[in-house]
Amino acid sequence: MDSNPPMLHSPLDQNDDKQKNDHNSSILSPSIMLKQTQIPKQFIWPKGDLTIAYEEVHKEPLVDLEGFFKGDMVATKQAANLIRAACSSHGFFQVINHGVDLRLISIAHDHINGFFKLPMGKKLRAMKKPGSMWGYSGAHVERFSSNLPWKETLSFGFEENGKDLVVVDFFKSNLGKEFEQTGLVYQKYCESMKKLSLAIMEIIGISLGVDQDYYKEFFTDSSSIMRCNYYPPCQEPGLALGTGPHCDPTSLTILHQDQVGGLQVLVNNKWVSIQPRNDALVALSNGRYKSGVHRAVVNRYKERISLAFFLCPKGDKVVSPPLDLMCKHVTRKYPDFTWSDFLQFTQFHYRADHTTLQNFTNWLLSNSNSNSNSSSKQ
């Protein structure tokens, strides 16, 4: 393997070069390695994570939301039952008749495909700055040095803040006025995802037997994450992963993948591929329900794009189980915590995997005990 992979040390013009030097942002990007015969060792994953998928899922949970949006309680109950079964088993399901304009989804794919096809120097204008979650990243090299994902990402935050168009502002401030239209597309896309997320959380509340509005109200003033993923072709797909096995460290993920496919979910300890559907969105749950362990594989010949919207509460929100659930399940698995604490853990202290929540709990309790001991000695 190439022990000296190409590093990007500067964008194409002096202003971008100064920005790069100011933030020490050398990156390693899969898209510039396509002419190499072998992939750099940083991208090679352990054999245990590279197990070939067992089969393609054709009978995955498919939840029709049309009845819910029309106020049909019978159809809503059916949807809740399907979601309960899916989330209790493996943590994912697909939704159709979800109310999101399919043309908007298509346009969002077109715009982000245009971004990822830009010269590297222009993409680096939006690169992540130290300590920030937002911006462009090549293989997350700013955080990790091994088991790198074979992908590029563009991440930005979304929250509804009066008349402020936070997504439009992100694109314009990082990429220039020529990206205002892209910002408007993704502003609308995030607004649609937020609306759908609240609907799904409402049905999840019904499926759990808690007050129907509990989760909807909890997430109404949410502060969510939008991540656009680009997976270039990979010359050694049997050694690399677009995204390694993990559970999303968020409350709910809504994903749209293009027709190339690549999303795989762990079901009964076997990896299965999720067949893409233009009209469907994949939802992955977290919390009391099983958190969906998933990964993304890469393709030797085809590039791939996926759009992931991560629903998250406001940073100061205290995450705790509804009292209705506590009446039925006395033993608590996790202590109360604020979402900002969890975000700090996953962004600066821990690489998300299938044991993130338990390790966060240990970290939180350890810090709490340390602070208590310090206070008692004063």
Largest CA distance in the chain: 63
Helix (H) or strand (E) holding 158: strand 152-158
Q: Which amino acid is at 317?
A: K
Residue 115 CA to residue 188 CA, distance in Å, equals 18
Q: In what order do the strands lie in the sheet with 152-158?
A: 62-64, 92-96, 281-285, 252-257, 304-311, 224-231, 152-158, 135-138
Confirm whether 288 is a catalytic residue.
Answer: no
* Token pair listed for 260: 């190339």
**For 304, what's the count of Cα atoms within 13 Å in the CB-facing half-sphere?**
25
Residue 356 CA to residue 362 CA, distance in Å, equals 10
Residue 213 CA to residue 199 CA, distance in Å, equals 10
- Long-range CB pairs of 354-362 (<8 Å, 24+ gap) are 354/245, 354/246, 354/247, 354/291, 354/293, 356/246, 356/247, 356/249, 357/247, 357/249, 357/286, 357/291, 361/333, 361/334, 361/335
* Residue among 143, 304, 332, 351 flagged as catalytic: 304
CB 16 within 8 A of CB 119: no
Nearest in space to 190 (alpha carbons), one of 150, 213, 159: 159
CB 247 within 8 A of CB 293: yes
Residues with a catalytic annotation lie at 304
